[in-house]
Amino acid sequence: MRRSDSTLEAFWTAASARWSAPLEVLVRRQGGPGFRKRLEAASLVAPARLAYRDDALASVSEWRRRGGRVALVSDGQTEATRAVAAHLDLFDEIHDISGPKAERDGHLDALYGPGRYAEFENVVPSRAALEPDLKAAASAPDKSLNRVPAALRLVRPHQWLKNFLIFVPMIAAHHLTLAAFAQALLAFIAFSLIASSTYVLNDLLDLNADRAHPRKRNRPLASGAVSLAQGTVMVPALAVAGVAIAMMSGLALLGMLALYFAATTAYSFKFKRLVVIDICMLAVLYTMRILAGSAATGIPSSVWLLAFSIFFFFSLAAVKRQAELVDGIASGLVTAHGRGYHVDDLAIVSNIVVASGMVSVMVLALYANSAPVLQLYSRPEMLWGVCLILLFWNSRIAILTHRGEMHDDPLVFAARDRTSQLCGLGILALGVAGTVL
């Protein structure tokens, strides 16, 4: 089985269902012993979707096959504990032993005799007390989980590729100075930490939906490779680190990061479940990275850049939803897990992908004939080549997604895809040629 903790599981599931649910439980808690029970009553924890350790399940099953007995020991015999026991159908006894570890150990000694039992910690979202012959299995390390890489995967460093958008204002304005680069780099680091904080928060809120998803079920929190306690601590820790670095840049960047964190949190709690609004929010969050670059460097983002950004990233955000719907159809689902879309919406979402991508290219084409281009480029006609490459790339992404071959964020996919890399090099070459020739 994989690791999980019932109280945190209930907390985050309740928060996902209704952001105010845990707060309501806390307000009505009044120090009473039923806090955990009321929290779980406010949540929608499904035992079938909890994370379990396969190695422990196998050991417990083998012990029972040999005639041994297994007990599930909880520090609160709640409905959730009984539901887990009923789902697994592995336990001969269920015991409620509250209090500190010494008191719990004394109770177990009284039940089974000193040294007459062994324990698996966090085998299920509780504890299991086992007989002594299982002690070797209980003390064996869990080699299926590699904590360090899992914790690193949880913060999604590959998603930091999006934060290179912070450098776009200085590149678009041809303001390539060391001072501007240093400020943009500082913003990149701060933004990456804040973004990772929101990624962890989103994964905590999406536990049930991720466990039901064919690919997302392998995410560190959903699979149990990282405990919910670790994930819960990482959210404020990463946010505080990001704020500390942003303060070195100034109030403008700090304000933009605060706005980004608030918008992302609102997206995680509410807007990601609202049809079309979720796509709009994602497009805005992408564009906010460009605005953060302007805030850090003092280089303003032009209306042309912002218009292109909104339409381009609206298309890429719709790609994510299109990919989820394609996966849903392949899995025989009716709705996308944790979203407001039905599989019947696929045709409309696909049209949004293509239409928004084409509009972004049209904005770039209009920009190629605008007055600012004549000041920045000696050969502005090179930008028409950029338009052609983007037309090809947008169309190809739409087709690959339609075929079910888009398995990642489209920007992360582009960074790994050879054809996309060649398109990026072509755009860079045309931009340089238009400037220096």
What is the phi/psi pair of residue 274, to 5°? -100, 125
Q: Which helix or strand (DSSP H or E) is residue 94 part of?
A: strand 93-96
The CA dihedral of 34, 39, 43, 48, to the nearest 10 degrees, is -60
* Count of other CB atoms within 10 angstroms of residue 339: 19
Cβ atoms of 289 and 310 within 8 Å: the answer is: no
- pLDDT recorded at residue 239: 92
pTM exceeding the 0.75 threshold for the entire prediction: no
Residues 317 and 284: their CA atoms lie apart, in Å, by 10
Residues 324 and 330: their CA atoms lie apart, in Å, by 10
**Mean pLDDT for back-to-back runs of 10 residues, the chain (437 residues):** 56 65 55 52 54 68 77 65 72 71 72 72 41 37 49 86 92 90 93 92 79 73 80 90 90 91 87 89 93 92 93 94 85 64 89 95 92 86 93 95 85 89 94 84
Q: Packing angle between helix 178-205 and helix 228-246, nearest 10 degrees?
A: 160
- pLDDT recorded at residue 366: 93
Cβ atoms of 224 and 52 within 8 Å: the answer is: yes
Q: Which residues contact 105 (CB under 8 A, 6 or more apart)?
A: none
Residues 132 and 371: their CA atoms lie apart, in Å, by 81
Domain boundaries, the chain: 6-139, 149-436
Q: Which residues contact 416 (CB under 8 A, 6 or more apart)?
A: 408
| 108, HSE (Cβ side, Cα atoms, 13 Å) | 27
Rg (CA), the chain: 26
For the domain with range 149-436, which CATH number is right: 1.10.10.10, 1.10.357.140, 3.50.50.60, 3.30.70.100? 1.10.357.140
The backbone region for 346, taken as left when phi is positive above 0, alpha when psi lies in -120 to 50, beta otherwise, is: alpha
Residue tagged 């099953």 (tokens): 61
What is the phi/psi pair of residue 257, to 5°? -65, -40
Q: Packing angle between helix 147-154 and helix 228-246, nearest 10 degrees?
A: 50
- pLDDT recorded at residue 146: 45
DSSP for 127-144, please give it. EEEE-GGGHHHHHS--TT
- pLDDT recorded at residue 299: 92
Task: Please enumerate, as own/partner, the contacts of 351-354 that have beta carbons within 8 Å and a separation of 24 or more.
Answer: 352/279, 352/314, 352/315, 352/318, 353/315, 353/318, 353/319, 353/322, 353/397, 353/398, 353/401, 354/315, 354/394, 354/395, 354/398
- pLDDT recorded at residue 127: 34
The DSSP bridge partners found for residue 95 are: 73
- pLDDT recorded at residue 213: 66
- pLDDT recorded at residue 112: 76
Could you tell me which of 85, 53, 50 has the C-alpha nearest to residue 70? Answer: 85
Q: Where are the beta strands (DSSP E) in 107-217?
A: 118-120, 127-130
- pLDDT recorded at residue 309: 94
Q: Which token pair is 116? A: 């007459």
Cβ atoms of 72 and 95 within 8 Å: the answer is: yes
Residues 129 and 137: their CA atoms lie apart, in Å, by 13
Could you tell me which of 204, 198, 242, 233 has the C-alpha nearest to residue 220? Answer: 204
Residues 80 and 125: their CA atoms lie apart, in Å, by 9
